[in-house]
């Protein structure tokens, strides 16, 4: 069993900001649902983040990432189910299920024995108000031999390293990082731990023997606020070489829903020719992986 005295790390992040509207809703169960995002076997795009399953248990996200397109999904389909709260700006609404304990108990976890599940695809599982729920879910599911790909931008995951190392053969932990430029990060992912803090999550997880991954996403073209994307990617690769995560994924910005208008407003800049940028970054990404001796995959989004 893992030595939790050496693992212990009480990470703290801000509570929910005052301008975020928080409501509750009733979640359906079982909690695990098919995911087209994560596997081609269900007709999806196949990012290999699970064997075709995802577990989401909140609506909205307080990270307030201006590039996120999940908001467009909630605004398109969510008002009937969740009410007008989803009309709020992305990052300013957050719904937590009031019946989550019931849903955890009534989910037949054994049905997914041996499967890998993405936690989570539409919100961060380690938001401050969710981290204790996430631990309950993991305790129940991991003991039922379910595997997890945990995707987060939050340092609160470090509080669960004792649990994750106990089931290290059933877990891979991944963080997303879009830039090493701290000022640019504050603009595009307003309430997220710094890039260095996220790299430290993976560094510590690797030391503890966990399988690790980093998603370099979304990579933005060169902009006024961050002039050279090539230098930014170089800085990211330099940091990753020091850690050597098991896998590195990369993808460029996706333009969906209203995120392009939010991006233009916040960055006071425009984004054009993404198909060309996507192709160029794929070539550069793969070249840098080879140069630094790292393993990874580029997820192409745009087609010329």
- Please determine, for residue 53, whether its predicted confidence score (pLDDT) is greater than 50: yes
Assessment of whether the complete model's pTM goes beyond 0.85: yes
- Please determine, for residue 187, whether its predicted confidence score (pLDDT) is greater than 90: yes
Domain ranges for the chain, please list them: 19-99+111-298
Tokens 């989004």 belong to which residue? 301
Cis before residue 218, ω within 30 degrees of 0? yes
Q: What's the pLDDT tens digit per position in 284-298?
A: 999 999 999 999 999
Tokens 């940091």 belong to which residue? 239
Eight-class DSSP state of 12 = -
CATH number belonging to domain 19-99+111-298:
3.80.30.30
Mean pLDDT of 85-114: 94
Let me know: does 206 contact 243? Beta carbons within 8 Å.
yes
pLDDT tier at 2 (50, 70, 90 boundaries)? very low
So what's the pLDDT on residue 11?
Answer: 53
Cα–Cα distance measured from residue 125 to residue 133, given in angstroms and rounded to the nearest whole number: 9
Q: What's the pLDDT tens digit per position in 189-242?
A: 988 999 999 999 999 999 999 999 999 999 999 999 999 999 999 999 999 999
| Stronger pLDDT, 155 or 11, i.e. the higher one | 155
- Token readout for 65 is 């990432």
Question: Where does residue 258 rank: exposed (0-12), middle (13-18), buried (19+ CB within 10 A)?
Answer: middle
93-97 and 116-119 as β-strands: parallel, antiparallel, unpaired? unpaired
pLDDT tier at 302 (50, 70, 90 boundaries)? low
DSSP 254-300: ---TTHHHHHHHHHS-----HHHHHHHHHHHHHHHHHHHT--EEE--
């Amino acid at each position: 069993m893992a030595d939790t005295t050496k693992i212990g790390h009480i990470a703290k992040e801000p509570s929910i900001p005052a301008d975020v509207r928080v409501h509750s809703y009733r979640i359906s169960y079982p909690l695990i649902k098919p995911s087209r995002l994560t596997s081609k076997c269900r007709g999806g795009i196949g990012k290999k983040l699970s064997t075709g399953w995802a577990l989401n248990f909140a609506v909205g996200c307080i990270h307030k990432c201006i590039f996120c397109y999940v908001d467009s999904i909630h605004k398109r389909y969510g008002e009937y189910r969740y009410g007008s709260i989803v009309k709020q700006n992305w990052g300013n609404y957050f719904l937590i299920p009031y019946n989550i304990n019931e849903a955890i108990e009534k989910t037949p976890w054994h049905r997914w024995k041996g499967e890998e599940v993405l936690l989570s695809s539409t919100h961060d599982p380690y938001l401050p108000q969710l981290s204790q729920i996430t631990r309950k879910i993991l305790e129940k599911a991991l003991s039922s031999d379910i595997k997890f790909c945990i995707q987060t931008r939050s340092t609160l995951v470090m509080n669960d390293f004792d649990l994750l190392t106990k089931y290290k053969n059933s877990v891979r932990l991944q963080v997303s990082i879009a830039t090493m430029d701290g000022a640019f990060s504050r603009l595009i992912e307003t309430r997220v731990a710094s890039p260095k803090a996220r790299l430290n999550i993976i560094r510590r997880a690797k030391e503890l023997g966990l399988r690790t991954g980093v998603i370099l996403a979304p990579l933005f073209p060169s902009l006024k606020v961050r002039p050279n994307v090539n230098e930014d990617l170089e800085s990211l690769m330099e940091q990753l070489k020091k850690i050597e995560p098991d896998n590195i994924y990369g993808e460029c910005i996706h333009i969906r829903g209203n995120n392009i208008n939010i991006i233009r407003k916040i960055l006071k800049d425009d984004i054009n020719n993404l198909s060309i940028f996507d192709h160029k970054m794929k070539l550069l990404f793969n070249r840098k992986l080879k140069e630094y001796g790292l393993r990874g995959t580029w997820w192409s989004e745009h087609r010329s």
